């Protein structure tokens, strides 16, 4: 039994409430397409092959351009393919996913607060942490 399975059995209601990315992301005002972009990018970074494919399929359901999905892994070098809001979401996702490197930079956090507000930024951070914890 994995540790996450044990925790799920130990506190099932809390586990379900905390580890539900879609609920957290919806509460933060993130569209389904943006949710899939975040999930896909985190899956790419963590090398979760089956998740990468499933999130590509989901993103295509929201009329996502397949060429844009192909560019997601290098979004920082092809910023004109992604809106400023998507770039900010992807920065948050990458910096939180790579906490052991530099972590969430103050500049990124401040930019998120300016764009989304403090409460939504907090919800986004929890949602991204949740996604990494749930799938990991």
Q: What is the pLDDT of residues 10-64, one digit of tens each?
A: 777 766 665 566 677 776 778 888 888 999 999 999 998 988 999 999 999 987 7
What pLDDT band is residue 131 in, cutting at 50, 70 and 90? confident
Structure-derived torsion over alpha carbons of residues 130, 76, 66, 121, reported in degrees to the nearest 10: 30
Q: What is the pLDDT of residues 51-106, one digit of tens each?
A: 899 999 999 998 778 999 999 999 999 989 999 999 999 999 999 999 878 889 99
| Domain edges within the chain | 12-135
Nearest of 45, 49, 66, 14 to residue 128 by alpha carbon: 45
Q: Say what the pTM is.
A: 0.81
DSSP string, 54-78: HHHHHHHHTT--HHHHHHGGGGGG-
Sign of the CA dihedral 136, 23, 78, 54? Answer: positive
| CATH class of the structural domain 12-135 | mainly alpha
Identify the H or E element spanning 129: helix 118-135
């Amino acid at each position: 039994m994995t540790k996450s399975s044990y925790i799920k059995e130990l506190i099932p209601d809390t586990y379900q409430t905390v580890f539900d990315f879609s609920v957290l992301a919806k509460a933060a005002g993130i569209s389904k397409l943006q949710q899939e972009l975040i999930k896909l990018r985190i899956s790419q970074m963590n090398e979760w092959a089956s998740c990468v494919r499933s999130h590509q399929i989901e993103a295509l359901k929201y009329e996502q351009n397949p060429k844009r999905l192909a560019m997601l892994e290098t979004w920082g070098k092809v910023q004109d393919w992604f809106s400023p809001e998507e770039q900010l979401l992807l920065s948050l996702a990458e910096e939180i996913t790579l906490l052991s490197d530099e972590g969430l930079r103050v500049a990124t956090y401040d930019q998120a607060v300016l764009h989304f507000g403090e409460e939504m930024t907090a919800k986004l951070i929890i949602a991204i942490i949740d996604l990494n914890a749930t799938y990991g």
